[in-house]
């Protein structure tokens, strides 16, 4: 099994703006929170072997519809949550195993920007830190030590932060914390703390580097490294990484126009040698990118069909090394969920057939990539993919996907392109996105497509006349045999 999709909270349940927060306190459980459409705080939890359960943590009018929300689990038997109140207060809630949720006010009315970000970290089991943007653009902080009361302080003075931007924090080692936020001038500001010393502030990226209304996220995948991502004002996705003993290095993960400047961004590191990042695109799709140690970043489309709120949050966790879970706000005020287990897959619900897989080739062919195909009950078809050539040689690329319906009809989707190696001028990347519509698919959805099976094949080499047609015929024959058909009834090209 790999990526699967479902709607966790139906349309009308959630504010289309504002954040989403999630934690996994133990490997067999996950928790999620978001602001409801009425300003309530809505929660959901999952335990292995059971279905998701939803509940209301705080009633209508408790939360800002446009503010941030953050959570931590400092020990396996406890969770903490904080959010912006509509009056600019900072509200909190905590849970201990065997007891009910308890709510409290961390900072009174007027303490926070109702449209600003909030972040939290627990560097050790007996301590919690929370930071938020105040109404005057200062960055405020609060800390708690086991057995003591909350203490508040000002980390950065008035005018330091955007009133509508995100805040991110990590603790890579128990005696250190790092915090980043958007400056009002579109800069990315940072602050670091080491035990026994005071907070030190710095500028990670200059003015106009970041969208002052966008999200920011961070992870420390190993104790000697930190990674950070944010939205550029031009809709790019910008990144920065740090290794112990070296300076920060910046890069562009996705070019201009790739991300909504008002949307969220989320990250998870399921093992020390890999990172996954997701964000909302301007068209309402959910985009992703993954990195494996020793390789370059690879991008893909997690949810190719428009539907995400371009001003809403996104959250992710990895509860075990072999799993990823991502949540985002839908434009219809829903909350949507995608979860992943290793391997290629096809998701077949009553309204969508969605196929996604990674593509590798035989030893000696330095090309890899992925493809994504989605067909809907309405007849919409989305086909996208990416190949990257990391070697010396160039390759003609061919990818074929064949779906077969129960009556033996085969439907093909094909792509042909080229990647250029280091010995030949040209792009190492072969990217494609095709969006089209088929009245035939819509008219025959229930009878044929919703119950289809599929196979794919890819080729990297010199272009051969008729090779794609042969690949289609070969896959169709395999599918017919698997279905017990004497022959392929017909082959129809969709793309």
Contacts of 411 (CB under 8 A, 6+ apart): 402, 403, 404, 405, 449, 452, 491, 492, 493, 494
Compute CA 343 distance to the chain's CA centroid, rounded to the nearest angstrom: 18
| Residue from 72, 79, 78, 85 nearest 18 by CA | 85
Per-residue confidence (pLDDT) for residue 74, from 0 to 100? 95
Angle at 23 between CA 129 and CA 273, to 5 degrees: 95
Instruction: Enter the tokens of residue 448.
Output: 């044929």
Q: What local confidence, expressed as pLDDT, does residue 346 receive?
A: 44
Contacts with 370 (C-beta within 8 Å, 6 or more apart), sequence order: 298, 300, 356, 357, 358, 359, 385, 386
With 0.85 as the threshold, say if the pTM is over it: no
Contact by Cβ (8 Å): 199, 219: no
Distances, alpha carbon 311 to alpha carbons 17, 182, 221, 307, in Å: 5, 16, 28, 12
| Residues 155, 191 contacting (CB under 8 angstroms) | yes
- ∠375-445-467 over CA atoms, to 5°? 55
Is 304:352 a contact under the CB 8 Å cutoff?
no
pLDDT at 350: 57
Give the single-character DSSP code of 199: -
How far is Cα 151 from Cα 142, in angstroms, rounded to an integer? Answer: 5
- Note the pLDDT of residue 355: 83
What pLDDT sits at residue 348? 44
| H/E run at residue 443 | helix 439-443
Q: List phi, psi (to 5°) of 279.
A: -155, 165
> Could you tell me how many residues make up the chain?
495
Model pLDDT, residue 344: 46
Q: What is the DSSP string of 66-130?
A: SS-EEEE-SSTTEEEEEEE-TTS-EEEEEEETTS--EEEEEE-TTSS-TTS-EEEEEEETTEEEE
Q: Assess contact for 308 and 334: CB atoms under 8 A.
A: no
Alpha carbon distance, N-terminus to C-terminus of the chain: 26
Quick one: three-class SS letters along 202-258?
EEEECCCCCCCCCCEEEECCCCCEEEEEEECCCCCEEEEEEECCCCCEEEEEECCCC
pLDDT per residue of the chain (495 residues) written in tens, 0 to 9: 457 888 899 999 999 999 999 999 998 899 999 999 999 999 999 998 899 999 999 999 999 999 999 999 999 999 999 999 999 999 999 999 999 999 999 999 999 999 999 999 999 999 999 999 999 999 999 999 999 999 999 999 999 999 999 999 999 999 999 999 999 999 999 999 999 999 999 999 999 999 999 999 999 999 999 999 999 999 999 999 999 999 999 999 999 999 999 999 999 998 888 899 999 999 999 999 999 888 889 898 887 666 899 999 999 999 887 789 999 999 999 999 998 876 544 444 456 787 878 888 887 899 998 888 888 787 888 888 899 999 999 999 999 999 988 888 999 999 999 999 999 999 999 988 888 888 988 888 888 887 788 889 999 998 878 889 999 999 999 888 888 888 898 999 998
Is the Cα dihedral 279, 282, 287, 291 positive or negative?
negative
Q: What is the DSSP string of 387-427?
A: EEE-SSS-EEEEEEEEEE-TTSEEEEEEEEEEE--TTSSS-
The kind and range of the H/E element at 20 are strand 20-23
């Amino acid at each position: 099994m790999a990526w699967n999709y479902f709607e966790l909270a139906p349309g009308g349940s959630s504010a289309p703006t504002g954040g989403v927060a999630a934690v996994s306190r133990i490997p067999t459980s996950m928790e999620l929170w978001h602001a409801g459409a009425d300003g309530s705080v809505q929660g959901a939890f999952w335990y292995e072997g059971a279905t998701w359960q939803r509940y209301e943590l705080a009633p209508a009018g408790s939360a800002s519809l446009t503010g941030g929300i953050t959570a931590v689990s400092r020990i396996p038997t406890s969770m903490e949550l904080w959010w912006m109140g509509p009056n600019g207060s900072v509200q909190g809630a905590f849970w201990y195993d065997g007891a009910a949720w308890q709510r409290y006010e961390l900072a009174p009315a007027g303490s926070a920007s109702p449209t600003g970000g909030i972040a939290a970290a627990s560097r050790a089991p007996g301590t919690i830190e929370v930071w938020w943007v105040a109404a005057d653009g200062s960055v405020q902080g609060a800390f708690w030590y086991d057995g003591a009361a909350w203490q508040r302080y000002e980390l950065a003075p008035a005018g330091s932060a955007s009133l509508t931007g995100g805040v991110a924090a990590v603790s890579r080692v128990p005696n250190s914390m790092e915090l980043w936020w958007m400056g009002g001038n579109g800069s990315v500001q940072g602050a670091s703390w080491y035990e026994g010393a005071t907070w030190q502030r710095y500028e990670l990226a200059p003015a106009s580097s970041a969208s002052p209304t966008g999200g920011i996220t961070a992870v420390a995948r190993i104790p000697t490294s930190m990674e950070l991502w944010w939205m550029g004002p031009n809709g790019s996705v910008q990144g920065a990484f740090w290794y112990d003993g070296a300076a920060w290095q910046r890069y562009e993960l996705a070019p201009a126009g790739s991300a909504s400047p008002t949307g969220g961004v989320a990250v998870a590191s399921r093992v020390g040698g890999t990172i996954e990042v997701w964000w909302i695109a301007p068209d309402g799709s959910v985009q992703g990118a993954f990195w494996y140690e020793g390789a370059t970043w690879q991008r893909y489309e997690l949810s190719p069909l428009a539907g995400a709120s371009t001003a809403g949050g996104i959250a992710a966790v990895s509860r075990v090394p072999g799993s990823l879970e991502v949540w985002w706000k839908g434009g219809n005020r829903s909350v949507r969920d995608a979860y992943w287990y290793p391997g290629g897959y096809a998701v077949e619900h009553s309204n969508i057939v969605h196929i996604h897989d990674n593509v590798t080739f035989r030893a000696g062919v330095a090309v890899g990539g992925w493809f994504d195909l989605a067909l809907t009950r309405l007849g919409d078809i989305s086909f996208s993919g990416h190949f990257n050539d990391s070697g010396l040689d160039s390759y003609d690329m061919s990818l074929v996907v064949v779906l077969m319906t129960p009556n033996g009809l085969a439907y093909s989707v094909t792509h042909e392109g080229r990647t250029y190696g280091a010995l030949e001028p040209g792009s190492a990347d072969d990217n494609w996105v095709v969006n089209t519509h088929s009245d035939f698919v819509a008219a025959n959805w229930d009878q044929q497509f919703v119950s289809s099976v599929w196979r794919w094949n890819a080729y990297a080499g010199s272009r051969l006349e008729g090779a794609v047609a042969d690949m289609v015929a070969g896959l169709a024959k395999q599918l017919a045999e698997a279905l017990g058909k004497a022959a392929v009834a017909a082959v129809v090209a969709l793309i």
